Amino acid sequence: MRCPFCAHEDTQVVETRESDEGDVVRRRRRCLHCEKRFTTYERTEIAMPWVVKKDGSRVEYDPSKLRASMTLALRKRPVSVEQIDAALDRIQDKLLASGAKEMPTARLGELVMRELKRIDKVAYVRFASVYREFEDVDAFRQLIRDI
């Protein structure tokens, strides 16, 4: 770690403490050149993939957008907030596990549909009817038959 006072690259950790929640590590350091002390903090950084839209534009992954679209499909359905949260967590886990830097909206939509199919078939059909942009009634019927 570089000293913020003299820019020397040799520093020594004098003290280390974890936060109460265990998600941040605080380190007291001493510069071996100028002897000044300073504090650094370490946090886990989770890099979610960027979402590539149909038009080729890229946007940051926004869990609130995903929640809003799922909540709309699940409106007036007997599904608890805990079930929605668990589904969103599973989707996020799959995104992180993929290791991809970018994720097409088509893939993200498939993950959402898989989760909706698992927790509520009606919400799945609602979401799929908008997401898949059916051209005719026969394609929609086929989706319902597949369930």
Encode pLDDT of 3-47 as tens digits: 999 999 999 999 999 877 777 899 999 999 999 999 999 987 778
Question: Distance between CA 3 and CA 6 in Å, rounded?
Answer: 6
Most confident segment among 45-54, 108-117, 119-128: 108-117
Q: What percent of the chain has pLDDT over 90?
A: 67
Q: What pTM, to 2 d.p., does this model score?
A: 0.64
What is the model's pLDDT at position 140?
A: 63
Q: Please check whether residue 57 is in contact with residue 71, taking contact to mean a CB–CB distance below 8 angstroms.
A: no
Cα 106 to chain centroid distance, Å, stands at: 16
Domains of the chain, by residue range, sit at 11-43, 50-146
28 three-state secondary structure: strand
Q: Is the alpha carbon torsion for 47, 52, 53, 59 positive or negative?
A: positive
